[in-house]
Structure 1
């Protein structure tokens, strides 16, 4: 759905693309609102974002729970030339997708430890010599690691 701005897609276009991508066995159990396109119709004070959130929620419910796959998260290391912000964002995406935590947030202690432990050599070296982030938050770690690089 992030490509909607890049390709200047209308809500109905997004809905049609999604319908084509949904496997037939899942489409059979989808709601009538999704099948007919009513899910993206705006009414009253609805914004496009409201309609997209309804669509997203419907798709998540249709997909069902995602199995926990910690190996996919733990395997993510910062690349040699990868900026820390990019690494942190990718790790956050993997964490939300594969941790199985419904209330995952950026300041989760597990994620914060993964950020520090799987970072590149420059961050690892700074941590070894005792120079850690001022605050143990996602934002604090990202800001600190960006300055260290």
Structure 2
């Protein structure tokens, strides 16, 4: 089997569509601190970006409705980070639309949620406490 140099095996790689991908790339870098791995097209039509080890693809889709245009979210993306507090401070300072303030959940995650420039919902989180699912009310599936 050949190895993919950009994404390891067993990785989910979400593709997120924006009306203006160049603007989205700049926004994601400035507000969320993403780094750009590569971009393609002239003018740019897509890019692969990282937040820590988390990887996403962003694509230009000017004819597809965004969540902001639809008036509802189509998905939610969760990225686990080491410094969610610093990430939250950066997003807030850059004027991002925070929809859930930074807090600790009953299941032991410290997290906040935010909506980006085209209305995509993001949840940034880090593990705060080690809890088993039973401790917060979940039921484990038995195989």
Normalised TM-score (structure 2): 0.24
Normalised by the size of structure 1, how large is the TM-score?
A: 0.23
In proportion to residue count, which structure has more helix? Answer: 1
More strand by share: 2
* Larger RCO (alpha carbons 8 Å, 6+ apart): 2
